[in-house]
Amino acid sequence: MHIVVLPLPLQGHVNICLAIAKMLVSQGCSFTFVLTQDLAGNVAQHQGIHFATVASHGSCFADSFDHSSCLSIMKSIRPGFEELLQKLLLSSEAGVSCIMADSYVTWSREVAAQFGVPRYVLYVSNAHTLAIALHVPSLVSQGLVHGGDPGILIDCIPGVLPLRARDLPQSVRLMPEFNKEMVKDMHKAAGAIFNTVEGWESNPLKTIKETLPVYPVGPSLLAPGFVESPSKEKPGVWAEDRSCLAWLDTLPPSSVLYVSFGSLATMSIDQMRELAEGLEASGQPFLWVVRSNIANSSVDDVLPQDFGERTRDRGLIIRWAPQLEVLAHAAVGGFLTHCGWNSIVENLCKACVPMLCWPHLGEQRLNARLLVDEWKAGIELVQDDDGWVKKEAVAKAVKELMRGEVGECLRDNALRLKETACLAWQEGGSSCRYLQSLIQDIKNLST
Ligand code: UDX
C-alpha cells in the first residue's frame, strides 16, 4: 500500500505523523511524506518513506508561533499538494491507497474527494483533546468557552476528567469556529488515527467511537519493528547538538533534570532569568534546551550574568537536543516539560522519569491535568495568577521531583503507564488489533 501523509508544517505535528508512518512501514506500507522546504532540509528518503517537498508562502518558524498565520501557510500548500497527488496517481506503480492528513489540514477533505482517494485523519494529540473538541457546541451553548470565568469547573464532558475552563485546549477557547470546521471535516474521514494507547485513554476513546472510527495505534516508539531515524535523516529546522550525550555520560545515574519546552513555546527574558536562578538554586544537574527563538534573543543576553560560569560543573545549555537519546540516557532522572503530547509519550516510552509540568499553549494545560490529576506521573509548577513562575517555586519543585518520595511515586506511576503501552503491543494487545484493522480497512477502501 502506498500512503500520502500530509502534516501541518510544525515540528511537533511532523514528528507525530512521521512516527505513525514509520510504524506502518514495518507493516509493509510505503509512504510519500509531504514537507515544506524549511522542515525538509536535506532529508530525502528513510526506509520506505519518500519525502516530497511542496512550495509554501512563508514558514511557520519565521517568527514566534502564531496559529492563524500557520494555517494560512498551510492553505498556500494546497496547489502544490494537488499537483503532487495528481502526479502520484498517474505515475506511482502502487497508485495512492489513501491520504493521511493532519487534523488541522481541513482542506484535505475537498482534495481527497476531488481525486477520489480515501482519507484518514492523523490526530496530532490525544483522545482527551478530541473528546473535548467534539463537545464544543454544548460548551459554547452553556457559555463556558467565551469570556466566561476561567476558573469555572467543567465536569460535563463525556469521557473527560473534570477541568477548569482555562485548562481547555486553546483551539477550543480561542478558535471555536476553526474547531467546528475541523470536527465536521473529521466526521467525513474514514477514521482518526492516534499515537495513544487504549489503556491510557479508554474513556474519551469510548466517547469518540460513538461518532467516528478510531485507531489508537500508539505508542509507535514501542511498536515491533519500529526503527528510529538517525539524526541527519530527521526532518526539522534545528540541528541536534549531540555533544550533550557525552556530557551526560559523565554524570551519575538519575541525577540530571532535562528541561525542554518543545518546538513552539516562548518565554519572556525575565522569566528565563528567573528559571535559570531557580535551576541554580535547586543544586541539581540540568540539561536545558534553549531554542534560538524561545526568547527571540541570544542565550547570553537572556541568562543572568556569569550564570554559565557558576553552573559550569553541573549545567549544560544547548539549542536543540536529540531528545529521544537524551530521554533514554541513564543520567536523566527528571523532565521539566511544557507537556507537549510527543514529549509526554516519548518520556513514557524511553525514560519513564517523573515530570515537572509547565504548560504553555495549545492543549498543554489539558495534558498537564492528565499527567497530574489522572495519571499521577507528574507534578505542576506553581504559577501566579498572571502565569509567572518564581525561582523559589522552581527550586522547591525540582528538589521534590528529583530527591523526594513524591518523585519515586511519580516514577512508579509512569512505569505502570509504560507497562500498559508494552502490553498493547503484545500479541492480541489493543494497539496490535487496531493496527491490523487499520491496515485491513485501508485495503478494503482502496480496492
Ligand atoms: C505542540 C503541542 O503542544 C503538542 O501537544 C502537539 O501534539 C504538537 O504540537 P510541541 O511544542 O512541538 O507540540 O511539543 P511536542 O509535542 O512535545 O513535540 C516536540 C518534539 O520535538 C518532540 O518530538 C521532541 O522529541 C522534539 N524535540 C524537542 C527535539 O527533538 N529536541 C529538542 O530539543 C526538543
Query: Is the pLDDT confidence value at 117 over 90?
Result: yes
Fill in the DSSP letter of residue 294. S
The CA–CA distances, whole Å, from 433 to 16, 198, 369 equal 20, 11, 29
Closest ligand 1 atom to 289 CA: 33
Q: How far is the CA of 337 from the centre of ligand 1 (A)?
A: 10
Query: What ligand 1 atom has the least distance to the C-alpha of 318?
Result: 33
Q: Is 311 in the pocket of ligand 1 (CB under 6 A)?
A: no
* CB-ligand 1 contact for 365 (6 Å cutoff): no
Average pLDDT over residues 255-284: 95
Residue 212 CB-half CA count within 13 A: 22
263 lines ligand 1 (CB under 6 A): yes
Q: Give the pLDDT mean for 274-280.
A: 97
Rounded Cα distance, 342 and 125, in Å? 8
pLDDT at 407 over 80: yes
Q: Is the CB of 362 under 6 A from ligand 1?
A: yes
Residue to probe by mutation, ligand 1, list 172, 221, 233, 263, most atoms within 8 Å of CB: 263
Could you tell me the distance, in angstroms and rounded to a whole number, from the CA of residue 343 to the centre of ligand 1? 6
Buried b (16+ CB within 10 A) or exposed e, 332-365: bbbbbbbbbbbbbbbbbbbbbbbbbbbbbbbbbb
Is the ipTM beyond the 0.95 threshold? yes
Q: What is the mean pLDDT of residues 155-172?
A: 94
The predicted-structure confidence for 190-207, as pLDDT tens digits, reads as follows 999 999 999 999 999 999
Q: What is the mean pLDDT of residues 207-211?
A: 96
- How many angstroms is it from 255 CA to the middle of ligand 1? 23
Q: Which atom of ligand 1 is nearest to the CA of 261?
A: 11
| pLDDT value at residue 406 | 95
**Share above pLDDT 90 across residues of the chain, in percent, rounded to a whole number:** 78
| Residue located nearest, by CA, to atom 23 of ligand 1 | 342
Q: What is the pLDDT of residue 275?
A: 97
d(CA 256, CA 332): 5
Retrieve residue 164's grid coordinates.
477548569
pLDDT given for residue 72 in this prediction: 85
- Output the pLDDT for position 63: 64
Q: How confident is the model at residue 141 (pLDDT cuts 50, 70, 90)?
A: confident
If you average pLDDT over residues 242-266, what whole number do you get? 96
Q: Would you state the pLDDT for residue 49? A: 93
pLDDT of residue 64: 64
**357 Cα: distance to centroid of ligand 1 (angstroms):** 14
pLDDT greater than 70 at residue 65: no
Of residues 34 and 64, which shows the higher confidence score?
34
pLDDT of residue 116: 96
DSSP 3-state percent helix, strand, coil across the chain (nearest 5): 45, 15, 40
pLDDT band at 99 (very low <50, low <70, confident <90, very high): very high
Please indicate whether residue 364, judged by its CB atom, sits closer than 6 Å to ligand 1: yes
For position 370, what pLDDT does the model report? 98
Phi, psi (5° rounding) for residue 65?
-65, 135
User: Would you say residue 110 has pLDDT above 90?
Assistant: yes
Lowest mean pLDDT: which of 13-17, 141-145, 255-259, 361-365?
141-145
Residue 153 pairs in a beta bridge with 164
The residue whose CA has the least distance to atom 30 of ligand 1 is: 323
Choose which residue among 338, 342, 345, 348 to substitute to test ligand 1 binding: the one with the highest number of ligand atoms within 8 A of its C-beta. Answer: 342
Q: If 0-12 CB within 10 Å is exposed, 13-18 middle and 19+ buried, where does residue 129 land?
A: buried
Is it the case that residue 298 has pLDDT exceeding 90?
no
* CB within 8 Å of 307: residues ≥ 6 apart: 276, 280
pTM: 0.96
C-beta of 320 in contact with ligand 1 (< 6 A): yes
Question: Which regions of 244-328 does DSSP assign to beta strands (E)?
Answer: 256-260, 286-289, 315-318
Instruction: Please state, for a pLDDT cut of 70, what percent of the chain lies above it.
Output: 98
What letter represents residue 296's amino acid?
N
